[in-house]
Amino acid sequence: MAEFLMYFTNGLVIGVINAISAIGVSLIVGIMRVINFAHGELYIFAGYFSYHLSLTFGLSPILAMPLSVFFIFLIGILMERLLIRPTYGDEMYSLIITFVLSIVLQNSALLIFGPYPNKPPALISGSTQIFGLFHYGNQRLLSFGISIGILLFVFYLIKKTWFGKSVRAISQDREMASLMGIDHWRINMISFGLGAALAGSAGVIIAPIFPVTPTGSSAISLTAFVVVVLGGMGSLKGCVVGGLILGILENLGAAYVSTMYRHIFAFIILILVLVFRPWGLFGQKT
Amino acid sequence: MLEIKAIDVFRGEAQILWNLQMKVEKGEVVTVLGANGAGKTTLVESILGIHHPKKGEILFMDEEISQKPPYLITQMGISCVPEGRRIFKEMTVYENLEMGAYPAKARPLLKTTQDWVFSLFPILKERRNQIAGTLSGGEQQMLAIGRALMSRPMLLLLDELSLGLSPKITKGIYGTIRKLHQEGVTMLLIEQNATMALLHSQRGYILETGRIALQGSSQELLGNEHIRKAYLGM
Ligand SMILES: Nc1ncnc2c1ncn2[C@@H]1O[C@H](COP(=O)(O)OP(=O)(O)OP(=O)(O)O)[C@@H](O)[C@H]1O
Ligand SMILES: [Mg+2]
């Protein structure tokens, strides 16, 4: 029982991180109809940034984490300006560009950071007993807390602020949104930066638990895409529920079936959703 | 207030508007009549900056706007009730109105403008927390008008207000147009269904295959034999 609960808790922790990463993808798809294949690489880069900022440059991890996310935000903004903006209106081009970029970034990561897994220092050590049943690492509990905080922040941003409302308006009807006086070029750029920053946040949160490697990035993108499809295109709630379901299933599956199948589970879920409910759990049936 | 000077507008390869001239003065309600495909929507969208004329100028408050993007034109004070309403269906009624008040100039007035809109359309106040996509057609049209008013426009463009609405609801909506005119809102009414529009405007233009075929006071146009046959079904 205690063992099951521990795997389940692992699933929750990974689940909320999945959710953050998936919202990054979903936001960009929803507003610009662009699928960012380089999503996983941005996630990995953030992990390496926080590793090097704290270990090579001696910054406190509390500073290294947000600073890494900020760098990824800037990279996202640059990507949109230089590579994505010229492709608007042609989804095929943006697909090819982000795909090529993902390969370029993955190889750069290999060149710059080397092939070895790097684990930034933990923010906190020790463990806490949960309900008197099992001990759970404090770093993981903290990661869970930070992730929940980020999710609440994103929900607030999208539901309540002018920026969030413009994002939703553009996702529904881009032309009408511009007739409201919304400068959609600017909103696109910021949203792309935000999508990247969310990939980066997931990366810096997970890196102290599971070290990042350059070759891990494709699986990270895959997971994010599966969560978006499972939750339903354009649904924040869907990303959270989808992220949790995938996190829990993968962790229980890895514990009780085999770790070898971890990514197979994601793939099976993807197929099942596409066959039985292609619009996802919370998506709009069109 | 609005002056269109000999514009040629293309959509893709096809020329839709030909050397089109027209004017709207402050405080006026002006009608543009035209059959299906005459180019009425293209005209509205050219004023709004969705299409840019290849030739000619569009002056708004004496400033040339024809090459500006839509968001800047909206911020300058033109807003529209588009053909087919195009409200934000997944947002609430309240959020739709808020989106209308997006321009920086309109935001500080959001609360007062909203009270004004609610006084014009009390049903919107009742339904303010409802998802807009679940409103009836007439209510969606009211919401589209309300949303357009939220930016406190100097000029309001209305593309086929009566499309798909029952005569009774159309009458109600035109009642609101009359009120808005009395409050000094300048409007351009684009219609296929002519009687209502001509009865509520001072001047009118007839658009035929992208050219102005005829213009005059609404009274004159209402009495014109050709127009009675072609647009009023009499
Ligand atoms: N995307 C497009 N590309 C090319 N031509 C178009 C496009 N959309 C419309 N047209 C053409 O432009 C012409 C004018 O269309 P427009 O929609 O402006 O007419 P309208 O007067 O508003 O008609 P309706 O009464 O049907 O709304 C039509 O001949 C139409 O076929
Ligand atoms: Mg039309």
What is the model's pLDDT at position A285?
A: 72
Interchain contact, B91 vs A166, CB within 8 Å: no
Nearest residue on chain A to B83, judged by CA atoms? A176
Provide the ipTM: 0.92
What is the model's pLDDT at position A286?
A: 65
Q: Is the pLDDT of residue B198 over 80?
A: yes
Q: How far is B47 from chain A (nearest CA, A)?
A: 11
B/e letters for A18-56, b = 16+ CB within 10 Å, e = fewer, are bbbbbbbbbbbbbbbebbbbbbbbbbbbbbbbbbbbbee
CA atoms of A236 and A172, how far apart (whole Å):
15
Q: Give the helix, strand, coil percentages of chain A, each rounded to 5.
A: 75, 5, 20
What is the model's pLDDT at position A256?
A: 85
In a domain, A120, yes or no: yes
**Ligand 1 center to A206 CA (angstroms):** 53
In a domain, A173, yes or no: yes
**Ligand 2 center to B39 CA (angstroms):** 7
Model confidence pLDDT, tens digit, residues B25-53: 999 999 999 988 999 999 999 999 999 99
In a domain, A26, yes or no: yes
Model confidence pLDDT, tens digit, residues A105-131: 999 999 999 988 888 888 888 888 888
What is the model's pLDDT at position A47?
A: 94
CB of B190 within 6 A of ligand 1: the answer is no
What is the model's pLDDT at position B229?
A: 78
What is the model's pLDDT at position B234?
A: 58
User: What angle do helix axes B167-182 and B110-120 make, rounded to 10 degrees?
Assistant: 130
What is the model's pLDDT at position B195?
A: 86
Its domain, for residue A127, covers 19-214
Q: Whose CA is closest to atom 16 on ligand 1?
A: B39
In a domain, A82, yes or no: yes
Q: Is the pLDDT of residue B233 over 80?
A: no
Model confidence pLDDT, tens digit, residues A28-61: 998 888 899 999 999 999 999 999 999 889 899 8
CB of B153 within 6 A of ligand 1: the answer is no
Q: Whose CA is closest to atom 30 on ligand 1?
A: B37
Which residues of chain B from 117 to 156 reach within 8 Å of chain A, CB to CB?
147, 151
Locus of tokens 């890494």: A68
Q: Is the pLDDT of residue B119 over 90?
A: yes
In a domain, A5, yes or no: no
Which pLDDT band, with edges at 50, 70 and 90, does A90 fall under? confident
What is the model's pLDDT at position B212?
A: 92
What is the model's pLDDT at position A283?
A: 82
Domain count, chain A: 1
Residue list, CB under 5 A from ion ligand 2:
B 40-41, 83
In a domain, A11, yes or no: no
**Residue A230 contacts residue A269 (beta carbons within 8 Å):** yes
**pLDDT above 90: percentage of residues in chain B:** 83
B113 touches chain A (CB under 8 A): no
In a domain, A206, yes or no: yes
B79 touches chain A (CB under 8 A): yes
Model confidence pLDDT, tens digit, residues A227-283: 999 998 888 999 999 999 999 998 888 888 877 777 788 888 889 989 998 888 888
CB of B53 within 6 A of ligand 1: the answer is no
**Residue A28 contacts residue A187 (beta carbons within 8 Å):** no
B86 touches chain A (CB under 8 A): yes
Strands (E) in chain B, as ranges, are 2-11, 14-24, 29-34, 55-60, 63-64, 78-81, 155-159, 186-191, 203-208, 211-217
3-class DSSP state of B69: coil
In a domain, A253, yes or no: no
* Rounded mean pLDDT, B214-227: 88
Model confidence pLDDT, tens digit, residues B54-77: 999 999 999 999 999 999 999 999
Interchain contact, A179 vs B74, CB within 8 Å: yes
